[in-house]
Amino acid sequence: MKVIVEVSGHHCHLSGSDLAVLFGKNYQLKFLKPVSQPGQFVAKEKVDVKISRFFLRNVSIIGPARGSSIVEISPTENYLLKGNALTVGYGKEAKKNTGGLVEIIGPKGKVKSKALIIPQRHIHVDPKTAQKLKLKTGQKVSVKVSGKEAVTFHNVLVRVDKNFKTRVHLNTDEGNAAGIVGQTLGELII
Strand-pairing partners, residue 2, are 187
DSSP code for 139:
-
- Domain edges within the chain: 10-119, 122-189
Pick the CATH number of 122-189 from 1.10.760.10, 2.20.28.160, 3.10.180.10, 2.40.40.20: 2.40.40.20
Residue 102 backbone phi and psi in degrees, to 5: -130, 160
What tens-digit pLDDT sequence spans the chain (190 residues)? 999 999 999 999 999 999 999 999 999 999 999 999 999 999 999 999 999 889 999 999 999 999 989 999 999 999 999 988 888 876 555 555 566 789 999 999 999 988 899 999 999 999 999 999 999 999 999 999 987 889 999 999 999 999 999 999 999 999 999 999 888 999 999 8
In the chain, which residue ranges form alpha helices assigned H by DSSP?
A: 16-23, 75-80, 92-97, 127-133, 172-177
For CA atoms 186, 38, 123, 134, give the dihedral sign.
Answer: negative
